[in-house]
Structure 1
């Protein structure tokens, strides 16, 4: 495992009781005691946190984040300068830059079915020897800087092509990636939109991006049921906004496992046959992936792909 500790952090405006309860379970698990710190980042600075909790609650003044360059990470959608994402990146990229070798960032409407489901993903993909630097749902490519679809029109001036994106409702970040993000913020004094920022910085810094099947159930919209979760007990899911539904499903799964453990051996994930936008094994994108495309013409505002020397930050466009 990693030489330093890891962390997992929920991001929320204010945490509901189910999030706090599950975070406590994670923090109390023997596998976490000396290896993993459990956090909840609370955007609302007026929220009163629980005393004597194993959870580490974080609340940061908006102006502190903004003055350090950590702002605008989701301004394109939220129309706010500073939200929980800006604060959590400020905290783990700058404030705690020497404390953690790997950090999981999980939005509060993402659902981790059990403590075992967390450790299943963590143990597979956070290892500094054979894990990844960014663990996320997908790694869509925009090789030539096409701004006609999705939200790519927001990218010019922030990154040169090629660009990459993923949903980031639940992601894992290595210290290398967090340091690369900190380097970008130091140069540019702001955070680009997170859904292309994580992937593009990872790829342009020659880091390893992994899209595990356990995150294939992180999608924009889906009516997940207990049966979906039962069929893929090690997957993480999005969206699960209702805390009562999350609590009920978690209880059903726990009871089912207690019953089935007397009869059958658990066999891991079974493929969910219903519709989701992203299913099955996702490809991996290590930095040494050979190109499968021809270089675009050097014309107009589209720049050719840049070749970055090892261990050097990419030449971001002028601020």
Structure 2
């Protein structure tokens, strides 16, 4: 595949580490995920362990995640939620409320509670030593999806297995009218620790192309915004690597059992977190955690009238 307009941004990074998605503490119900967020925030404000000065207790919920948690589900219907580890037992996972397998911390009757009811539960006997280890993020590729690297395309699972770092993304100044690319090393891969049941959307395109992703995976729209895969409908368009539009003929939803994958490039600006998979422009996993407020906001905005730029 010919790579258009690549600018060099060489890096000493030659191998990219991997981190696990949260199949070990998996929530697939949006109400329970939002409940976990709210539960963690409420407990963080209670100062249950009598910290001096009554600060927010980051062992429940780190303040760095607060803005995303408050907006992600209510505004964008994306659920990110905190996960916990126990340093007393080799940093094993401590399962919080709402997830399968957490009966030790939540009574069976609580499985039917709404998010707000779950948020009002007590601290569920969480030991003081148990720490917030970050948040879980949705939005990934099936393992066979081909991602563009400097030497060409490779399946994301094969690239992850060798820690391949030579990713190609859009350059920071790229627009729909002028798609230029840079070498932009992978910072980390994200994958499921164990195979799990996944809801997959298969896009079938007018050109004969295809793309298989989870429903929250970020894709670039014909207007240059980034939107969740589940928000697209047949008749709309995906953007190809060369900037041309490819009509969606059908989107098939299927249940699939396996591991899914995603990645983060080193760069943090919005535009250079757009990569090429299966020949189409996709957002990196940053759009599922750090950049949730940018979903549906026009990113590739050359010649876009000001009154059409969302969020301005």
* Common fold: TM-score over 0.5: no
Normalised to the residue count of structure 2, the TM-score between the two structures is 0.24
Write 1 or 2 for the structure with the bigger share of strand: 2
